[in-house]
Structure 1
Amino acid sequence: MDALRLANTGLAVDIFKKLCENKKTDNLVFSPLCISSTLALIHKGSKGNTASELEKVLHFEKVKDRDFGFQTLSLDISKISSIYSLKLIKRLYVDKSIDCTKDFINSSTKPYPSELETIEIKSRAEEARIQINTSVKELTDGNIEKVLNEGLCDEHTKMIMLGAAYFKGSWLYKFNESETKEFRINKTEKKPVQMMNCEVRLSIGYINELKTVILEIPFTMKHLSLLIFLPKDIEDESTGLEKLIQDMTYEKYVHWTNPSMMANSKVKLSLPKFKLESTFDFMDILKSLGINDAFSDEAADFSGMTESKGISVTHAIQKACIQVDEDGTEVADVTKERLLMHKEEVNVDHPFIFILRHNKTRTIIMYGKYCSP
């Protein structure tokens, strides 16, 4: 599991950095787990150079039993999904004209139970698009609508890699009612934002060379946490995050968030209340990372999946949404703490990175940045 966690973290950081290149000052959120899981299924059906490219980008070189790893991960996360409003949809929609082999279907059922879906796209493209959107809306309890835009599907569409992720959690500790404060977008610009406050014991860490604080805020039952990466202050004319994003590698992320690098401390915390939604077509990003053959009819080798020729992935679309508010299950009892105890003040009133993490496997479920209300 550890090798798979590191591989999934590697892909998550790679994609996040690529997204930030084009969207330096934008808010964004995506689910790396939805991407790695569906790409793992695609990798399973690929051979030759197509498989080699996928393996490299997925950081799979040292991952032995990938199928079992994803099966365990899916099971672990689905067990806790009902405790939170957590919906993860990972699909590879394959046109009915492509005959997937029985071997491929049978060997994919356990590790990727809902990922593979056959649908008639070519002959009824618009109906297929509506059907997919309706399915996503139902599976996310109406929280995510219209993942595929009009005209996206046509007679040339063969395979669609689709992801949808929604999360709204209840904190372990309630925040106080939010009040309007100023959020500093950069050195010169400010905007009003609803800020939530609480005083509680939290796990806190520091990246001294980047003047960045890391905070772990647990959700109810502690199965999930929100990690906040906050540079101490804005140091340039944009968001203040550039240095942190540029320096971040998956090895550094693993080191920075290692429990041995974090300490329990009493924290006076102010955090914006926010709801973010992003839609991405990941094809160009995945190509820039090194997956090219899988998206080319001429080059793709999916002979591990089908005997049909000239098959490739036509689209790689994802929509993600995260909602953060005051909701919590317990009131923090800080009266027991000694009055002399040192108290950290963390005021998240300028751009930050956030990560929704599954604590048992330390897997990144959602990843994003908040730059402006």
Structure 2
Amino acid sequence: MFCTCLCLVLAVSGGVATTTAPSLADKHNALGFRVFAHLASADRNLVFSPHGLSAVLSMAQLGAAGTTDEAMKRVMGFSLRERGASRQHRRMRRQLRAEEALRTAGAVAVERTMSVEKAYRRALSRAFGSHPLQVDFGRPERAAEVLNAWVADHTAGAVPELLAPGSLSDETRLVLLDALHFRGLWKVPFDPRLTHRGLFRGANGSATPVAMMTLTGRFNYGEFSTAGGEDYDVVELPYRGDTLSMFLASPFEADTPLSALAADLSGRGTPEWTSRLGSVRRQLSVPRFAVDSELRLKTALTDAGLANIFNVATADFSRIAAHERLCVSDVLQTVKFEVDERGTEGAAATAAITYSRMAVEELTLDGPFLFFVQHKPTGAILFMGQFNHPT
């Protein structure tokens, strides 16, 4: 079970390789890789939802104007106000909703005394199918309870509290929510009787006993080299239905940092490296693993070029509300991710708070690796992460 809940909160500020054009999903993924590169460090586990981050930023970008709009388009690589973009975005979301394993939802909570521009309402409806719901942010704790109930409902209870006490204030004006719930079962499950104890070589040099799952069969597999000459391989594990897959990338050499692989995969773009995988027969061993992350994304987004949206002096979201000075204070994300013999379970929540190897018969992932969950028809990466050591 994957669950992702995405939230953007706006409040009034105090005081004054191929020739084919990249798809919208490719641009979402590219932004995700850039942010991932800022978040990743050599010796920690990490997971986050690039799809979710793009969703909340897209909602905000629909209301951006002036230099804020320009900065967001430059960093995100797209604008949903461009001709045909909303239609493409709506089509991508419709394809995700068509998946039996996926459930998506969106909501826009607006301070009941605030007047929202009609053009913004129309843009939200076209791109997200969302319509504003009135909320009394003058009672911030009660408003948080209402929104947390929506979150819990659309994540099957996996994220019971996205907004902690104190997350909202009487200056809050708008909360944009996007939720994704996914329950993924492997197309071919691992046999629990074959799970055995093995040693995982952590990025910090540790050797930790883990439960190593084993599956023999044909896998889509490929070998790559980074620009710096580091060799690594990628293997695909499909979920039931063949439209969703997990991709695992691991370096040949133990001293190769995962950041080198992430940078190479980001530069190639997912269409290139997934298209270069070929069917091979392997005995795959991969540990059961779980990764939990609580992320503050403001610094990563600022470093990526979005300082404008966090600065009360420069942020311009006048297309949302012409008479309110709005700016973003932070973007938060909490993700829980677990892999076992049957499939994958996970939960993620994002809140943006705003004020006005070599080919061998055995393939054993007993060292650090990257992982990605991708919706193959659209190419959208729902989750990406790195596993450096067992916990």
Q: TM above 0.5, one fold?
A: yes
TM-score of the two chains, using structure 1 as the length reference: 0.85
User: Structure 1 CA distance, aligned partners of 2:204 and 2:331?
Assistant: 37
Aligned residue in 1 for 2:322: 307
User: Structure 2 CA distance, aligned partners of 1:317 and 1:116?
Assistant: 22
What pairs up with 1:31-50 in 2 under 5 angstroms? 31-50=49-68
Count of residues paired in the alignment: 349
Change (3 A) 1:354 1:90: farther
Is the CA contact 1:161–1:317 (under 8 Å) kept in the aligned structure 2? no
Change (3 A) 1:319 1:187: closer
Given the alignment of the two structures, is residue 69 of structure 1 paired with residue 63 of structure 2, yes or no?
Answer: no
User: Structure 2 CA distance, aligned partners of 1:287 and 1:160?
Assistant: 21
- Residue among 165, 186, 192 paired with 2:203: 186
User: Please, what is the CA RMSD of the aligned residues?
Assistant: 2.5
Aligned residue in 1 for 2:4: none
Given the alignment of the two structures, is residue 347 of structure 1 paired with residue 364 of structure 2, yes or no?
Answer: yes
CA deviation string 1:150-194 (max 9, x = no partner) = 222223333445566554410111112133221111373111222
What pairs up with 1:87-98 in 2 under 5 angstroms? 93-98=109-114
SS state at 1:141 partner: coil
State the 1:115 CA deviation: 8.1
User: Structure 1 CA distance, aligned partners of 2:330 and 2:204?
Assistant: 39
State the 1:322 CA deviation: 2.5
Aligned residue in 1 for 2:245: 225
What pairs up with 1:251-270 in 2 under 5 angstroms? 251-254=267-270, 256-259=272-275, 261-270=276-285
CA deviation string 1:42-85 (max 9, x = no partner) = 111111101001101111279752211211111111111xx32x
- Residue among 78, 102, 108 paired with 2:97: 78
Change (3 A) 1:118 1:181: farther
Q: Is the deviation greater in 176-185 or in 363-372?
A: 176-185
Q: Which runs of 5+ in 2 are unaligned?
A: 1-20, 344-358
Q: Which runs of 5+ in 1 are unaligned?
A: 329-341
Change (3 A) 1:61 1:306: closer
Aligned residue in 2 for 1:207: 224
- Residue 322 of structure 2 aligns with an amino acid whose one-letter code is E
What pairs up with 1:98-113 in 2 under 5 angstroms? 98-113=114-129
- Residue 297 of structure 2 aligns with an amino acid whose one-letter code is F
What pairs up with 1:230-309 in 2 under 5 angstroms? 230-235=250-255, 240-245=257-262, 247-248=263-264, 250-254=266-270, 256-259=272-275, 261-309=276-324
CA deviation string 1:96-137 (max 9, x = no partner) = 34321222212311321248655322x111122222222212
Aligned residue in 2 for 1:332: none
State the 1:141 CA deviation: 0.8
What pairs up with 1:131-170 in 2 under 5 angstroms? 131-160=146-175, 167-170=182-185
User: Structure 2 CA distance, aligned partners of 1:350 and 1:53?
Assistant: 39
SS state at 2:172 partner: coil
Given the alignment of the two structures, is residue 10 of structure 1 paired with residue 26 of structure 2, yes or no?
Answer: no
User: Structure 2 CA distance, aligned partners of 1:292 and 1:141?
Assistant: 34
Q: Is the deviation greater in 184-193 or in 223-232?
A: 184-193
SS state at 1:150 partner: coil
Is the CA contact 1:8–1:33 (under 8 Å) kept in the aligned structure 2? yes
Is the CA contact 2:61–2:79 (under 8 Å) kept in the aligned structure 1? no
- Residue 228 of structure 1 aligns with an amino acid whose one-letter code is L
User: Structure 2 CA distance, aligned partners of 1:327 and 1:365?
Assistant: 19
- Residue 320 of structure 2 aligns with an amino acid whose one-letter code is M
Given the alignment of the two structures, is residue 53 of structure 1 paired with residue 68 of structure 2, yes or no?
Answer: no
- Residue 94 of structure 2 aligns with an amino acid whose one-letter code is L
SS state at 2:33 partner: helix
- Residue 361 of structure 1 aligns with an amino acid whose one-letter code is T
Aligned residue in 2 for 1:360: 377
Change (3 A) 1:199 1:64: farther
Q: Is the deviation greater in 247-256 or in 101-110?
A: 247-256
CA deviation string 1:249-278 (max 9, x = no partner) = 63323365241x211101110111123232
